[in-house]
Amino acid sequence: MQFLDDSLLPENQQPLVIQVAPYGPEFLPGDSDDIPVTMAEQVQKAVDCWNAGATVLHVHVREADGKGSKRLSMFNELLARLREAVPKMVLQVGGSISFAPEGDGEQAKWLTDDTRHMLAELDPKPDQVTVAVNTSQMNIMELMSADDIAGTSLSTPAYYKAYREMWYESGPAFVDEHLKRLQAAGIQPHFMLGHVANLESVERLIRRGAYTGPLILNWVAIGGGADGPNPRNMMEFINRCPENAVLTIESVMRNVLPLNTMAIAMGLHVRVGIEDNLWACKGERFTSVQQIEQMVRIARELHREVATGEDARRIYQIGTHYANTDETLAALGYAPNRFAGERETPLRRVA
């Protein structure tokens, strides 16, 4: 990405897309009074977030007992109800889910590729499914202080240990097949990347034709296997993104606000919600809706427009798919692939 002399002027920036993750799957209902549990509460939370100014909803689902759901039918039910309740909102399902077969006598195949690929079978289909690239540790506790998790289940030894030792599996075979199925289903992959090495892997996927669509990214600065919330890390990631990538900044706990403020000023997009952060300032709880309202206020102070639902779909290029690798590279602003025997960097093609 490049910054021209006038790139920080709000009239030259896209409207701000606010992505919200209000369902907090790592927390239990008693951890916060902002966790929706019933289906009706989960739908209402989406409506409240939309009314506050968010246009992208990161979706997880809870069962009636408050635990995270692994049932495809529950996700289908919530998606159907969300399509009616917030029809203009971009619906983005978290790609970490592994579905459990629901029929009598069936064995749940936890964390196998088949149950994860079922995200492509959601009906109604979401606009996006998030995709991590490269198997990695995901120690979400590394950046969290005792104050951050005080009064929540994450402060108990068993939960703390489980999330400290957490990792996600996203190897080459899984990613190739997952991208194939999502694209065939007309669902846009939204890449969740923790550092430049992940971004380089996505570029290689594009260059060999495994992905032929817009490059919609989150830089996930949560530490523990991903970048930490260092502005130098953020700027390096920005520098390595191609010109036409769409980049959202994501972090954890009280790092969310300063990084998002920088993102708004720079023309990037933001993510908020209790999945990432519970706090306004130290010791003061902050709901998902309050976090959205804060982003809207900051954007208005900087005279930057806040995206409508139509804006978000246009900026995210929902429904766009390119014909081949060459068209994808050109659309994203990457240099073309090298012809056989071609020397130096092939920056452009001469007809």
**Per residue in 254-290, pLDDT tens?**
999 999 999 999 999 999 999 999 999 999 999 999 9
Task: Reply yes or no on whether the pLDDT at 334 is more than 50.
Answer: yes
183 against 348, higher pLDDT: 183
327 against 350, higher pLDDT: 327
Average pLDDT for residues 163-177, to the nearest whole number?
93
Task: Reply yes or no on whether the pLDDT at 106 is more than 80.
Answer: no
Q: What percent of the chain has pLDDT over 70?
A: 95
pLDDT of residue 103: 59
Task: Reply yes or no on whether the pLDDT at 110 is more than 70.
Answer: no
Structure tokens at 108: 């749940």
The separation between the first and the last C-alpha atoms of the chain, rounded to the nearest angstrom, is 26
Structure tokens at 264: 């708004």
pLDDT of residue 101: 64
Tell me which H or E stretch contains 248.
Answer: strand 246-250
The amino acid at residue 292 is I
Average pLDDT for residues 129-155, to the nearest whole number?
95
Average pLDDT for residues 73-102, to the nearest whole number?
92
Measured between alpha carbons, how far is 169 from 46 in angstroms, rounded to an integer? 29
Place of tokens 């996505």: 202
Measured between alpha carbons, how far is 110 from 133 in angstroms, rounded to an integer? 19
Q: Residues with Cβ < 8 Å from 144, sequence gap 6 or more?
A: 154, 252, 253
Residue 102 DSSP class: -
Question: How far does Cα 191 stand from its chain's mean position?
Answer: 7
Measured between alpha carbons, how far is 350 from 345 in angstroms, rounded to an integer? 14
Residue 172 and residue 162 in contact, taking contact as beta carbons nearer than 8 Å: no
| C-alpha distance from residue 4 to each of 7, 41, 234, 237 (Å) | 5, 45, 18, 18
Average pLDDT for residues 220-229, to the nearest whole number?
97
Average pLDDT for residues 45-53, to the nearest whole number?
98
Q: What is the pTM of this model?
A: 0.94
